[in-house]
Amino acid sequence: MLPFSNLSNSPNLDWIGESVAETVRESLAAENLLVLNRESRREAYRHLAIRPYARLTKASIIRLGEVAEADRVVYGTVTVSPVSAAGNGSKGPLEINASVLDMRQMRQGPSINLSGGLAELATLQERFAYRILGLFLDARAMPSEDQFRGRRRPVRLDAMENYVRGLLAADADQKHRYFTQAARLDPDFSQPCFQLGRLRVEKRDYRVAAGWLERVKTSDVHFREATFLLGVCRYHLGDYSGAQAQFRSVLRQVPAPEVWNNLGAAQSRLNLPEAMDSFEKAFESDSTDPDYGVNVGYALWRLGEYDDAAESLRGVLERAPEDAEAKALLARCLKRAGPRQAETRVEALERLKHNFDEMAFRREQSRLVNRNQ
């Protein structure tokens, strides 16, 4: 889902093209379609040195699709008349035009065009997203438009503008200011709450982050990531039972290695025997990640299984020879020296993951399914 090019004379209206693209992206993702996230899309633009809101040539669109490994690319333009841009959105037209390129068959798909007042942006975006969805879903799986719109609520235009400007801001303080304003203007608008929670997690302000993340609605496409991050907050605040509950909730839908790993860390802090199984599941999913190998080695060491722990830690040091904790634990395993009472140096060494990438996990699962067919 590429950002829509702004054909108006004012660069200050670039946010509208991003808003359309983001709304459609989230709507498709909410219907369980595999849609490239914003970070991966930005990386594709950087790779090709393309300005995000430039009017794209067909060659650029194809190259972006190739770099992103996309099956289909949705792209388009938005035009806001001078009357709308001047602030009288209900009187001047907003035009949204989109096209779909099938990358597998290198064939141009249908075009979609809508128009209305800028004040109607939220409604137009919903109608637009529904029509895009209809291009990708089988008719039998397609919800009715009333069902589709019923799962979403209109967002105030000024709240949407502040939210999107927050997404576009390069500075963390600017992002925080825009997202806070969006949440203030529309308290039921869930997305800025998620973004504010994520920003506070990055600042390690876990108590404030938890307050924002608790406000993310189950209907929000970010809900599972918000639940994961809330588990991270609970863990760092010492609420290991609460953290375990959050990670288990995510696992029911997304059994990604980082979720198994964090569940194991919470269980380890609770001295639950299930921690070993959780760490092993994370390691089985991604044996190249040193953190998963260290956690397996650490759990085995605590159980007194020194030979198996040493094998796991040697594997880690082959990939990360400077890992000081792995070296120290391996030395303890070789001496067959377990934890000693009141020793704090080798306590609480579980490694937690702070990033959750559901899209990357689903893409990998899709590749495995296709490979086995």
Name the nearest CA neighbour of 250 among 268, 237, 234: 234
Longest CA–CA span in the chain (Å) reads 79
Query: Which DSSP helix (H) or strand (E) runs through 73?
Result: strand 72-80
Quote the pTM value: 0.90
* CATH code reported for the domain at 257-355: 1.25.40.10
What is the Cα–Cα distance from 233 to 247, expressed in whole angstroms?
A: 11
**Residue 90's pLDDT band (cuts 50, 70, 90):** very low
Q: 109-162, pLDDT tens digit by residue?
A: 889 998 888 888 888 898 888 998 888 888 888 888 888 887 777 889 999 999
Architecture of domain 5-154: 3-Layer(aba) Sandwich (3.40)
Would you state the pLDDT for residue 86? Answer: 43
Would you state the pLDDT for residue 342? Answer: 60
Q: Which amino acid is at 166?
A: G
Residue ranges covered by each domain of the chain: 5-154, 257-355
Answer for the pair 307, 283: CB distance below 8 angstroms, yes or no. Answer: no
Neighbours of 302 (CB within 10 A): 18
Q: 16-63, pLDDT tens digit by residue?
A: 999 999 988 988 888 888 888 888 888 999 999 998 777 889 999 999
What six digits make up the tokens of 298? 């650490």
What six digits make up the tokens of 157? 């235009």
Q: Is the dihedral of CA 6, 9, 11, 13 positive or negative?
A: negative
Mean pLDDT of the chain: 90
- The better pLDDT of the pair 358, 289 is held by 289
Query: Which DSSP helix (H) or strand (E) runs through 234?
Result: helix 223-236
What is the Cα–Cα distance from 63 to 44, expressed in whole angstroms?
A: 9
pLDDT at 172 over 80: yes
What six digits make up the tokens of 292? 């998963």
Would you state the pLDDT for residue 373? Answer: 56
Name the nearest CA neighbour of 73 among 25, 26, 7: 25
What six digits make up the tokens of 5? 């090019």
DSSP letter at 341?
T
Q: Which amino acid is at 326?
A: A
Strand partners, 94: 80, 116
Direct distance between the N- and C-terminal alpha carbons of the chain, in angstroms, rounded to an integer: 27
- The better pLDDT of the pair 258, 116 is held by 258
Q: Which residues contact 264 (CB under 8 A, 6 or more apart)?
A: 274, 275, 276, 277, 278, 279, 281, 282, 295, 299, 350
pLDDT at 269 over 50: yes
Q: Which amino acid is at 314?
A: R
